[in-house]
Structure 1
Amino acid sequence: MPKAYSYLRFSTPEQMKGDSSRRQTSMALEYAAKHGLTLDEDLTYKDLGVSAFRGKNAEEGKLSEFLDAVRTGKVESGSFLLVESLDRISRQAAWLALGTLTSILAHGITLVTLADGKTYSQVTMTAQPWDLMYAVMGFIRANEESAYKSRRLKDAWFGKRQKATTKPLTSIAPAWLRLDKATGQWNVLPECAEVVRRIFRDYLAGHGAKGITVALNKERVPPFIRESSQRKRQAPRWHRTTIRRMLENPAVIGTHTPHVTEYVNGKKRRKAAQQPIPGYFPAIVDEDTFQRVQALRLNTPSPLRGRNSNREVKNLFGGLARCGQCGAAMVRMCKGPKYTYLVCQTARYGAGCKYTLVPYQQLESAFIQHVPRLVASAAYSGQGEHSFQLKPSSRSGRW
């Protein structure tokens, strides 16, 4: 009695909660019983929540495992592969999908589409050439459906991003926040928020990412638990990369940067979708603290800090220069060996200030030339310190 193998696939994890899996399994059992086939229940191939639009199931999913089993003889020639329809095999462009189909048939496997009871094999494709056209048309339809759904999904997300200031895009958020789905409001987890504030305080106090990491791990401060769409994830310990990402994450001051996924040469890439959205999250770190940290991080480290003590100072104004428009830190930006500027950090993150590039060399030369007079005329704080702020000229726009 010939053996039959079932292949189940659906695109999203949500479909696992529905009827898709039960329906496909039931159809395979009924077909095998009706046609005298032995359904192998040990080798059942299931791609649950795997899309066939870009061929992931055939390249690295369970369908790929079936093809390997066919090539190695684990699945014998003359066996049957039972699928609900051709779009379970592939939703790629028709010429690519046809390659997947022919690779199955070339090894003597008979493919059965259970929805219409149609069989595809070397014999039928030779005797009935129009079956090839039928398969191609089916693949074209499946590909167009997926492309249409993809466009609609992108449009829906674009609409959500347009309303992001009044309604959260998704429940996915930084680990110190949770979304109350009933009210649509973000709730701050106090114990997590305090750890974030401590990290910022320690960094400003001169502790590097490594030192902060070591201290947190020594004190056994629990790493954050982050909720994804599928499960909770918690790292076993603190890592330097976690600290660095937290220090540069504008979400701590409430700014959200939407991203989109695109495919380049078949590879998934994530890129910023539009301008950051200030005020999207509750702020847990004040703006001034965040900007001071960015001034330290994005400029050459201070010559008084650890292994960087002998490095050349490339930014004389690191942690000192402030934007005359909004008061945020001015950070160094290099656009080539001869083009170095200072730019407002708020503007750099698209948080509202005007984006203006200030030529660094001109500013440094002018500062060195006039620093004695500036220091002499600076306001005295009464605590043994002088402070000054560089502002643009209202007439020329120069600094």
Structure 2
Amino acid sequence: MRIAYSYIRMSTGRQIKGDSLRRQLEAARTWAEAKGYRLDDGLRDIGVSAHRGRNKTKGALAGFFRAVEDGTVEAGSILLIENVDRLSREKPLAALDTLRALLQAGIVVVPLDLGWELDEEVLNREPWRLQALLSMMERAHNESATKSHRGLQVMETKRRRAVDGIPFSTIGPGWLDNNGDGWIVVEAKAAIIREMFELAASGVGSYRIAIEFTRKGYPTFGGAKHWGSSYVSKTLRNEAVVGTWQPHREDENGRVLKMGEPILNHFPDIISKDLFLRVQRQILPKNSRGAKGRHFKNLFTGRCRCAACGDPIQAPPPQPHGFRAAPHAGFPGRGGIHRPHGRGHGAQL
């Protein structure tokens, strides 16, 4: 039996609690049964936005493109989407490029709300469909752009209110609760954080702290079975322990972007600023730049550049007595062994 692939996408994980998943699955199953296809409904991007094409580079759709390229998904296969919005919410031409890439690879794309079975032949024969799709793509992009703008306005309003002492959200650091009237310190958890900082100030590293807390059976704040060194490391840098909060948001690529200046005294402080600063002084040298190896750490990595061409200087293992200037992106022939003493280019800090 022939296979039809159903692509399901939701911009946020919260939508899975609503009717979106059921609706998309039901439409795909109905089409597959009517056409005599076996449905593969494992192609799902939950919590992945299509506004700037993130679903093309991460997640299930990106995997589908790779499967098409390597032949795992054969030409002539069917891709079912609820509507063109699920495939892309980028600007119309970018969204059209996504659709064209699938069609040119021989994939038949079926927007279920339209019932159209789209391939290159159909669009070349009936260009009015292409015009209709472009209009839908424009509408989808404009809707997302409007939602994004409104969301930023709401977040900026909340940030300004936070400056005046009104909590930005009822969700805060793991050692705090919010009872609706303000933040409450959960002393049992705050005691763990205080111990964490005291250990760090005495020179104990994040890895050892995580092992020790796991050994003592301290409950983690997120439900994990064991304490992780990455969580410890992040907590030791988190200014929320001294009451400071940095408003932020995530962009379409998941990168965290700061919003305005840090807000002092937003949370109750649970350690002294002196202890916090002592820990920062303790952990900064351990996180200095430099390539880490089993037997050494090169303190000059990232700091040296060629005095003549300005390229970064590297010291690869096969060249223990020389430094290599990495080829510049615009001058691929410029790299080579750069020796600090001799006729070559000199190293410069």
- Identify whether the pair has TM-score above 0.5, normalized to the shorter chain: yes
Could you tell me how far 1:89 is from its partner in structure 2?
0.6
Could you tell me how far 1:13 is from its partner in structure 2?
0.6
In the alignment, is the contact (CA less than 8 A) between 2:7 and 2:41 conserved in 1?
Answer: no
Gaps of 5+ in 2: 286-349
Could you tell me how far 1:149 is from its partner in structure 2?
0.8
Tell me which residue corresponds to 1:220.
215
Match among 97, 101, 117 for residue 99 of structure 2? 101
Distance 1:119 1:128 in 2: 12
Tell me which residue corresponds to 1:23.
23
Tell me which residue corresponds to 2:76.
78
**1:322-361: CA deviation from partner (whole Å, max 9, x where unpaired):** xxxxxxxxxxxxxxxxxxxxxxxxxxxxxxxxxxxxxxxx
**Alpha carbons of 1:283 and 1:218: their partners in 2 closer, same or farther (altered >3 Å)?**
closer
Could you tell me how far 1:247 is from its partner in structure 2?
4.2
Distance 2:283 2:106 in 1: 62
**1:295-318: CA deviation from partner (whole Å, max 9, x where unpaired):** 77779xxxxxxxxxxxxxxxxxxx
Could you tell me how far 1:96 is from its partner in structure 2?
1.8
In the alignment, is the contact (CA less than 8 A) between 1:176 and 1:224 conserved in 2?
Answer: no
Distance 1:279 1:141 in 2: 43
Distance 1:111 1:213 in 2: 53
**Alpha carbons of 1:107 and 1:276: their partners in 2 closer, same or farther (altered >3 Å)?**
closer
Q: Which amino acid aligns with 1:259?
A: H
Distance 1:219 1:42 in 2: 42
Could you tell me how far 1:177 is from its partner in structure 2?
1.8
Tell me which residue corresponds to 1:251.
240
Could you tell me how far 1:42 is from its partner in structure 2?
4.0
Aligned partner of residue 257 in structure 2, secondary structure? strand
Could you tell me how far 1:15 is from its partner in structure 2?
0.6
In the alignment, is the contact (CA less than 8 A) between 1:54 and 1:91 conserved in 2?
Answer: yes
**Alpha carbons of 1:286 and 1:191: their partners in 2 closer, same or farther (altered >3 Å)?**
same
Relative to structure 2, which stretch is displaced further, 268-277 or 51-60? 268-277
In the alignment, is the contact (CA less than 8 A) between 1:4 and 1:38 conserved in 2?
Answer: no
Aligned partner of residue 249 in structure 2, secondary structure? strand
Aligned partner of residue 69 in structure 2, secondary structure? helix
Distance 1:66 1:212 in 2: 38
| Higher RCO, 1 vs 2 (CA within 8 Å, ≥6 residues apart) | 2
In the alignment, is the contact (CA less than 8 A) between 1:4 and 1:79 conserved in 2?
Answer: yes
Relative to structure 2, which stretch is displaced further, 283-292 or 215-224? 215-224
Could you tell me how far 1:155 is from its partner in structure 2?
0.6
Distance 2:145 2:214 in 1: 51
**Alpha carbons of 1:107 and 1:242: their partners in 2 closer, same or farther (altered >3 Å)?**
closer
Tell me which residue corresponds to 2:294.
none
Q: Which amino acid aligns with 1:176?
A: W
Distance 2:183 2:213 in 1: 31
Could you tell me how far 1:268 is from its partner in structure 2?
4.5
Tell me which residue corresponds to 2:115.
117
Could you tell me how far 1:111 is from its partner in structure 2?
1.4
In the alignment, is the contact (CA less than 8 A) between 2:83 and 2:111 conserved in 1?
Answer: yes
Tell me which residue corresponds to 1:63.
61
Relative to structure 2, which stretch is displaced further, 38-47 or 208-217? 208-217
Q: Which amino acid aligns with 1:163?
A: R
**1:65-84: CA deviation from partner (whole Å, max 9, x where unpaired):** 32333334433333322211
Aligned partner of residue 178 in structure 1, secondary structure? strand
**1:74-120: CA deviation from partner (whole Å, max 9, x where unpaired):** 33333322211111111112222112111211233221111122332
For the pair shown, the structure with the greater C-alpha radius of gyration is 1
Tell me which residue corresponds to 1:273.
259
Distance 2:267 2:254 in 1: 27
Distance 1:212 1:7 in 2: 41
Identity of aligned residues (%): 36
Distance 1:217 1:89 in 2: 47
Aligned partner of residue 119 in structure 1, secondary structure? coil
In the alignment, is the contact (CA less than 8 A) between 2:3 and 2:40 conserved in 1?
Answer: no
Could you tell me how far 1:214 is from its partner in structure 2?
5.2
Could you tell me how far 1:169 is from its partner in structure 2?
1.9
**1:338-392: CA deviation from partner (whole Å, max 9, x where unpaired):** xxxxxxxxxxxxxxxxxxxxxxxxxxxxxxxxxxxxxxxxxxxxxxxxxxxxxxx
Match among 194, 197, 216 for residue 194 of structure 2? 197
Q: Which structure 2 residues correspond to residues 101-250 of structure 1 after superposition, within 5 A?
A: 101-164=99-162, 165-180=164-179, 183-202=180-199, 207-210=202-205, 213=208, 217=212, 220-222=215-217, 225-226=220-221, 232-234=222-224, 236-237=226-227, 239=229, 245-250=234-239
Could you tell me how far 1:242 is from its partner in structure 2?
5.1
Could you tell me how far 1:43 is from its partner in structure 2?
5.4
Distance 1:272 1:177 in 2: 22
Gaps of 5+ in 1: 227-231, 300-399
Q: Which amino acid aligns with 1:225?
A: T
Could you tell me how far 1:208 is from its partner in structure 2?
1.2
Could you tell me how far 1:198 is from its partner in structure 2?
3.1
**1:32-60: CA deviation from partner (whole Å, max 9, x where unpaired):** 334xx233334531112211112222222
Tell me which residue corresponds to 1:327.
none
Tell me which residue corresponds to 1:351.
none
RMSD of equivalent CA atoms: 3.1
Q: Which amino acid aligns with 1:191?
A: A
In the alignment, is the contact (CA less than 8 A) between 1:29 and 1:39 conserved in 2?
Answer: no
Aligned partner of residue 265 in structure 2, secondary structure? coil
Aligned length: 285
